[in-house]
Structure 1
Amino acid sequence: MDLSLKKFIQRKQIIKKENQLRFLNLFLRLLKNGYPTLDALEAMKWDKSLLKPANEIIHALKAGETIDEAFEKAGFHPTITSFLYFVKVNSDLQGSIEQCIIMYKQRLTNTKKLQQILRYPLFLFIIFFLLIYFLNQTILPSFVDLFQGNEDSSSTVVLSMYIIDVVSTFLFILLLFVIVFIFVWKLIKQRIPIETQIKIYKQIPVYRKFITAYTSYFFATHFSSLLKTGMSIKEILHQMANQQKLPILSHYSFIMIERLTNGVHISGVISSFTLLEKPLTTIFQKNTDAYFLEKDLVVYAELQLEEIENKILRAITFIQPIIFIVLGIFVIFIYVALMWPMFQLMNTI
């Protein structure tokens, strides 16, 4: 109960998504203009909408917390703090923030597109569900009384009412199941071993593709940023294993360290992971020089980010036609439910 209450309070403290992006953009601009980190944060307090998060980050940094911990305490999204975690290793605050902005801006853009695409169809869905409910509760029962003398018409109306009841019950149970599942999953996710979580992800076809793409992107991005510091592969993997913001990446890094110690080449280890893309294996196979490996990983990460964007856009544009098709079926069903009994009655006259 205390843990749930704590999480609830933390959610309340999260700042608006648009303000998070504004904060990052302004912070980066000030850093590029030569401001030291704390001075840049002090300057950001001039903007009233950014005053509170800037104050919280300043207090956290002065208390000795790392940049990612400070941003997390201020309520920033995990996507942002996962990039900032590695600043204490690679010392590239500007580069990490630039990557944050690209990734988070893409996230906000796709979310807005999804909301725009779903807004009108969902409104129509609500209208049609209310219409069908009204039809089932008032008009169709009246038809049953009206067509009592005609067996065919009466049976058609009864069948229509039965179909509406079954479909409505199914959709209600499905919606309830999804809501309960999401709520329960958020509560118990942290208690489920990461190995079990990965097995669950692998069983969900569409989600598996997205999480594989994201895991591959984060792996390539963070690995390449740490390569720039001159660290060895094992040292990089230790850093990635110790972070907790990307659990799958941490789990895979621990396995890589263990297998590298046993003499297995890193490309062979990567190929065994189902949530990492195959091109990563090829990149590590062909590169023995850290400089070229870092360059290839940077290019791959950029291409992967574009691919993620394309996949999300395809998924979003695929959703709208499906919704309109279902709405079309509802319209036809309402027409048939109302008119077919009348045609049957007319044929008996």
Structure 2
Amino acid sequence: MKDRKKHLNARKQAIFFQSLADLLNAGFSIRQALADILIFFPEHKLIFDDIQHELLEGKMLSSALKPYISESTFNQIYIAEKHGKLSDSVKQLGRTLERKVQQTDKLKAILLYPMMLLVMLGVLMIAIQVWLKPELDKFQDLQNLNTSAWQNYLYLLLGGGMVIILCACFLKVAHWLAKKPLLARQELYCRIPFVGAVYRQYCHYYIAFNFALLLKSGLDIREICKFLAEFDETSLLAQFGKELNKNLSDGNELNYFVSKYVFIPQELNLFLGKGNTIAEISSELMFFSELTYDKLIRQIDRLINCIQPLLFLVIALIIVSMYLSILLPMYNNLGGIYK
């Protein structure tokens, strides 16, 4: 039955989580809140009926929502249900998804004009190859035509060879990454030029926010590791807890583990080494996660703003290449006539 249902998109998830948080803060139960939120999503009645059915069977909200949300969203709700304040976590999720939708809309608006230009250039290039290029070739003598044919054949072989090599390299890198441990892959992702800094900032926010929720519930480091082991072993939090527990069991200090990985916020050493109470550390980490999130949003906005100029540069190079493909044969023909 779940397979035939349409999942909520990011925009509707943002509305759902924000509305759920407001109703929970107003004193509604989860079931009452879901019944009221259904008013905003009548087309998704099957989804909400299924969620209500799961809750009636005694399952947690995170388990009921799991088929319709991402793994990271599920983990965050699960942590909040087990050891944190659900309404605060859900509110943060709604805010995060709302900003994601805004950035997606902004990216689409930025890409619209360059993509239209690229489509028009593609049509123009096809027209040049189909109609203009044959007319230019008529001005060449038989020898030049044969030479041009051999050159085109050579270029085709070289181009095809390059495509095959690039595809083989891509598949080899993908296979190499797939065999890497998850934390090692996270390290590599964080070091990718341009987008790596954004991904690293997201990891800092994600770890700091969830770590703050767990500390807020009164868990110590060992208990946090044990709790994170309950997650899917392919998730970042599960591997984070497993590796942290291994380092502590080996007798390493926490600051050694934090300094070992670039995707872990180094500020954890500062907060956990101050000697404050767990409640104070949790509040500081929660505030830090909010600052990290704001910085993440600014980085994404800057990255989005760089996309349009880069696309226009690509378009300019394509236009110059088109002019050269037309003018160079004409120049060669004129040179042959004057000789």
* TM-score in same-fold range (> 0.5): yes
Q: Secondary structure at the match of 2:229?
A: helix
Q: Report what 2:285 is aligned to.
A: 297
Please tell me the root mean square deviation across aligned C-alpha atoms, in Å: 3.7
Q: Find out whether 1:211 has 2:205 as its counterpart.
A: no
Distance 2:89 2:232 in 1: 17
Distance 2:154 2:36 in 1: 63
Superimposed CA distance per residue, residues 222-241 of structure 1 (whole angstroms, 9 cap, x where no aligned partner):
11112222222221232233
Distance 1:239 1:166 in 2: 57
Q: Report what 1:223 is aligned to.
A: 211
Number of equivalences: 335
- Alpha-carbon contact 1:21-1:101 (below 8 Å) kept: yes
Structure 1: any 5+ residue segments left out of the alignment? 1-5
Shift of 1:209: 2.7
Distance 2:172 2:37 in 1: 40
Q: Report what 1:100 is aligned to.
A: 93
Return closer, same or farther for 1:264/1:172 CA change in 2, 3 Å cut-off.
closer
Q: Find out whether 1:117 has 2:110 as its counterpart.
A: yes
- Alpha-carbon contact 2:21-2:88 (below 8 Å) kept: no
Q: Report what 1:3 is aligned to.
A: none
- Alpha-carbon contact 1:215-1:249 (below 8 Å) kept: no
Q: Secondary structure at the match of 2:62?
A: helix
Q: What TM-score, normalized by structure 2, do the two folds share?
A: 0.82
Distance 2:233 2:62 in 1: 10
Distance 1:12 1:84 in 2: 22
Q: Residue 110 of structure 1 aligns to which amino acid in structure 2?
A: Q
Q: Report what 1:35 is aligned to.
A: 28
- Alpha-carbon contact 2:62-2:78 (below 8 Å) kept: yes
Shift of 1:170: 8.5
Q: Residue 43 of structure 2 aligns to which amino acid in structure 1?
A: S
Distance 1:279 1:79 in 2: 22
Q: Find out whether 1:85 has 2:78 as its counterpart.
A: yes
Q: How does 1:1-349 map to 2 (within 5 A)?
A: 13-47=6-40, 48-73=42-67, 75-148=68-141, 193-195=181-183, 197-198=185-186, 201=189, 204-244=192-232, 247-346=235-334, 348-349=337-338
- Alpha-carbon contact 1:194-1:248 (below 8 Å) kept: yes
Q: Residue 22 of structure 1 aligns to which amino acid in structure 2?
A: I
Distance 2:193 2:209 in 1: 25
Superimposed CA distance per residue, residues 86-141 of structure 1 (whole angstroms, 9 cap, x where no aligned partner):
12322511111111112212222222222221222122212212322332243223
Return closer, same or farther for 1:156/1:104 CA change in 2, 3 Å cut-off.
farther
Q: Residue 72 of structure 1 aligns to which amino acid in structure 2?
A: K
Distance 1:32 1:272 in 2: 40
Superimposed CA distance per residue, residues 243-293 of structure 1 (whole angstroms, 9 cap, x where no aligned partner):
238722221211212322344332222111232132333332334422331
Structure 2: any 5+ residue segments left out of the alignment? none
Shift of 1:328: 0.8
Q: Secondary structure at the match of 1:15?
A: coil
Q: What TM-score, normalized by structure 1, do the two folds share?
A: 0.80
Distance 1:22 1:76 in 2: 14
Q: Residue 119 of structure 2 aligns to which amino acid in structure 1?
A: I
Q: Residue 130 of structure 1 aligns to which amino acid in structure 2?
A: V
- Alpha-carbon contact 2:80-2:86 (below 8 Å) kept: yes
Q: Residue 128 of structure 1 aligns to which amino acid in structure 2?
A: L
Distance 1:277 1:166 in 2: 49
Identical counterparts, % of pairs: 20
Q: Secondary structure at the match of 2:28?
A: coil
Return closer, same or farther for 1:208/1:342 CA change in 2, 3 Å cut-off.
closer
Q: Secondary structure at the match of 1:45?
A: helix
Superimposed CA distance per residue, residues 154-202 of structure 1 (whole angstroms, 9 cap, x where no aligned partner):
79987996899689869977998899899x88xx96x975256446536
Q: Secondary structure at the match of 1:46?
A: helix
